[in-house]
Amino acid sequence: MCGIVGYVGKNKAVPFLLQGLEKLEYRGYDSSGIAVFTNTGIKIEKKQGRLKILADAISTKEDLNNANLGIGHTRWATHGAPSDVNAHPHKSKSGKIAVVHNGIIENYIVLKNELMEKGFEFVSDTDTEVVAQLLDDMYNGDMFDTLKTAVNRLQGSFALGIVCDDYPNTLFAVKKDSPLIIGLNENENYIASDIPAVLSKTQTVCRLKENQIAVLTSEKVELFDFDGNAVEKTVSKIDWNVESAQKNNYEHFMMKEIMEQPEVLKATISPRIKDFDIKLDDIEFTKEYLENIDKISIVACGSAYHVGCVAKYFMEDILRKPVDVDVASEFRYRNPIVGENTLVIVISQSGETADSLAALREAKSRGARVLSVVNVVGSSIANESDDVIYTWAGPEIAVATTKAYSTQLSILYLLALYMAKKLNKISEEKYKENIENINRLPSLIEEVLKSENKIKEIAEKYLDKEKIFFIGRGLDYATCMEGSLKLKEISYIHSEAYAAGELKHGTISLVDNDTLVISLLTNEKLFDKTISNIREVKSRGAKILAISTEDKVSKINEISDDSIIIPKFCEMMLPSLSVVPLQLLSYYVAKFRGCDIDKPRNLAKSVTVE
Ligand code: G6P
């Protein structure tokens, strides 16, 4: 978790550090801080709370604003409560060295005890402070040399930005298991946890690989491995610009990202379909390989896990192979039955989620082939997978995912159809029909987005509810899980998703006049069954919001208090349409309740700790 930035150059550091941190606030926003090199050495300013508080504190301090070298941090608390003292940067005992960190130092207690015995005093509860103190303890007048030795004492994950009093013109950075990029420019260079932080300055970036140390000055950037050998930089040009990382005219990133769905789906789908043939980038699964797979195992966290839940239904249906879906934090520790004949699919927007990455490593160590579906190019999960399919959703800033979810789902449709064709599990006619359906997805989602005003009215009607259940069967149940998560994470209303037939086994006792039940009914075969479940909750006083297809309008209006109607479409892909009203509903309920939509409390977008 957390975001780090750094600047070295001929210009002022503070404007870059603050705008870079603003772009990284999605990684956590419990506190923020900077350390800059002033005439009187390194000075730190750090504050609990949002970045604005830090910016206000810095604005009057001339010496800070004149600095040409500095590091910055935005925090998602792991070790130690959110507070000024636990905010980064952390300084060493001598005050010579300041450090910002993203990750977790797993052996920090051992190191802390060791350093305390030597007389070091600690002021914070963080794991990061030991890095500053350890560097101070080991410092031999040569920071690069010190770093080379010190990194071998640190266990865990760490992207570090470091400044030292003896180096007024040099920024040091280290990467192991936490993301770090370098932005390259004329007369100035930058470090950051993610690309949007540097985009207003440069589109030329270099992603640090595992176990690398970077030494940056205004003129050059040098990379080394942990043994101190110089290594080549892999520099790439980012083809999305700062505009795409901004809100444009939307009030919130979440709404912008909801509205971008038709466009990013097109970008994700169309390059992969050529004359009814699915091309999964460079990936080739032979018929023989696919026949030998005895199980597909999908592993992910949060909404990406819900994509897996939806995919299980349609993959098992058309491939007739077992598909397991696990949350990564469970998979990694439960001795999973995974081996050479398992295809493991890891789904992740950021490509950095710690549990998903660990699950990937676990699966590989058991001999499984790992295919990842990832949005961030070159991220850790993408790098470590055998095969990667990128979702072309562009940067997703709102903590609650929308467009990444939709693009992930579209990749899973493509994958299922690709495999079904290779395995002769689908007729030519059905296959072609489905390819046409995938191609229609962007325009159909555009159609659904037109219900925005109606959904807004419904949101206003139910915004005071404190108890909301989502019910559905089959694919609708899987979509309900995502709808419920979306609503609770941004509006703080307690909501739960239930398989409609399961509600009566306990949970129905919670239903009363104050309950709203949101019901999804998009499956022809299960329609009447879910209608019966709606009757059960209605007779206990619940209000009903039903979401169904246009052919069911009269039946739906008869039973519900409110309804949202989506186009009739092939059932396998209806989850891509039915999730959209749920995203919009969550957005408007949260907005009317005055919630911080893009940055809900206690959450962070990229969860790089377990
Ligand atoms: C966080 C985000 C979710 C996301 C999950 C997995 O909890 O708030 O929106 O689904 O992490 O993230 P990933 O980057 O692996 O998709």
The residue-averaged pLDDT of 146-156 equals 96
> pLDDT at position 28, please?
80
Alpha helices in 126-270 (DSSP H): 129-138, 143-150, 253-259, 261-269
The residue-averaged pLDDT of 401-422 equals 98
Q: Return mean pLDDT, the chain.
A: 94
Question: What token pair was written down for 46?
Answer: 């750090």
Active-site residue identified among 91, 112, 421, 605: 605
pLDDT digits (tens, 9 = 90+) for 455-467: 999 999 999 998 9
Rounded CA separation 187/582 (Å): 48
Has residue 177 got a pLDDT over 90?
no
> pLDDT at position 244, please?
65
Active-site residue identified among 2, 206, 309, 480: 2
Residues 6+ apart with CB under 8 A from 246: none
* Structure confidence at residue 504 as a pLDDT band (50, 70, 90): confident
424 sits in the region (left: phi over 0; alpha: psi -120 to 50; else beta) called left
* Structure confidence at residue 610 as a pLDDT band (50, 70, 90): confident
Query: pLDDT: is 39 or 241 the higher one?
Result: 39
Q: Which atom of ligand 1 is nearest to the CA of 604?
A: 8
> pLDDT at position 608, please?
78
Provide, rounded to the nearest whole percent, the portion of the chain with pLDDT above 70.
Answer: 99
- Is residue 220 annotated as part of the catalytic site, yes or no? no
* Structure confidence at residue 25 as a pLDDT band (50, 70, 90): confident
Evaluate: CB of 399 within 6 angstroms of ligand 1: yes
Evaluate: CB of 303 within 6 angstroms of ligand 1: yes
80 sits in the region (left: phi over 0; alpha: psi -120 to 50; else beta) called left
275-284, 304-313, 536-545, 556-565: which has the minimum mean pLDDT?
275-284
> Cβ(47)–Cβ(87) under 8 Å?
yes
Check residue 510 and report its DSSP letter. G
Question: What token pair was written down for 15?
Answer: 């404007």
* Structure confidence at residue 107 as a pLDDT band (50, 70, 90): very high
Rounded CA separation 38/552 (Å): 69
Question: What token pair was written down for 348?
Answer: 């992740």
Rounded CA separation 565/561 (Å): 13
> pLDDT at position 306, please?
98
Measured distance between the N- and C-terminal CA atoms of the chain, rounded to whole angstroms: 10
Has residue 82 got a pLDDT over 90?
no
- Helix or strand run (H / E) with residue 340: none
Has residue 377 got a pLDDT over 80?
no
Instruction: Give the residue, out of 27, 301, 405, 484, with the most ligand 1 atoms within 8 A of its beta carbon, to mutate for a pocket test.
Output: 301
pLDDT digits (tens, 9 = 90+) for 249-259: 799 999 999 99
* Structure confidence at residue 557 as a pLDDT band (50, 70, 90): very high
pLDDT digits (tens, 9 = 90+) for 117-142: 999 999 999 999 999 999 999 999 99
Strands of the sheet containing 342-348, edge to edge, are: 323-327, 295-300, 342-348, 369-374, 387-390
What is the phi/psi pair of residue 174, to 5°?
Answer: -140, 145
Evaluate: CB of 522 within 6 angstroms of ligand 1: no
Distance 406 CA to ligand 1 centre (A): 13
> pLDDT at position 300, please?
98
Evaluate: CB of 603 within 6 angstroms of ligand 1: yes
Rounded CA separation 142/442 (Å): 56
170-179, 239-248, 262-271, 525-534: which has the minimum mean pLDDT?
239-248
Alpha-carbon dihedral angle through residues 596, 602, 604, 610, given to the nearest 10 degrees: -170
Q: Could you count the other beta carbons within 10 Å of the beta carbon of residue 177?
A: 19
The residue-averaged pLDDT of 458-484 equals 96
* Structure confidence at residue 281 as a pLDDT band (50, 70, 90): confident
* Structure confidence at residue 79 as a pLDDT band (50, 70, 90): confident
Has residue 540 got a pLDDT over 80?
yes
Has residue 241 got a pLDDT over 70?
no
Rounded CA separation 128/350 (Å): 23
Has residue 552 got a pLDDT over 90?
yes
* Structure confidence at residue 1 as a pLDDT band (50, 70, 90): low
> Cβ(217)–Cβ(170) under 8 Å?
yes
Evaluate: CB of 583 within 6 angstroms of ligand 1: no
Instruction: Give the residue, out of 353, 385, 396, 408, with the most ligand 1 atoms within 8 A of its beta carbon, to mutate for a pocket test.
Output: 353
Residue located nearest, by CA, to atom 8 of ligand 1: 605
Distance 586 CA to ligand 1 centre (A): 17
Cα 171 to chain centroid, rounded: 28
Has residue 606 got a pLDDT over 90?
no
The residue-averaged pLDDT of 423-431 equals 97
Instruction: Give the residue, out of 306, 326, 352, 401, with the most ligand 1 atoms within 8 A of its beta carbon, to mutate for a pocket test.
Output: 401
Evaluate: CB of 486 within 6 angstroms of ligand 1: no
Evaluate: CB of 605 within 6 angstroms of ligand 1: yes
> pLDDT at position 245, please?
65
Residue located nearest, by CA, to atom 3 of ligand 1: 302
- Is residue 605 annotated as part of the catalytic site, yes or no? yes
Has residue 604 got a pLDDT over 90?
no
The residues that bridge with 273 in the sheet, in sequence order, are 278
Has residue 243 got a pLDDT over 70?
no
Has residue 8 got a pLDDT over 80?
yes
Evaluate: CB of 242 within 6 angstroms of ligand 1: no
Distance 200 CA to ligand 1 centre (A): 25
- Helix or strand run (H / E) with residue 311: helix 302-319
Check residue 509 and report its DSSP letter. G
Residue located nearest, by CA, to atom 1 of ligand 1: 605
Distance 13 CA to ligand 1 centre (A): 31
> pLDDT at position 376, please?
83
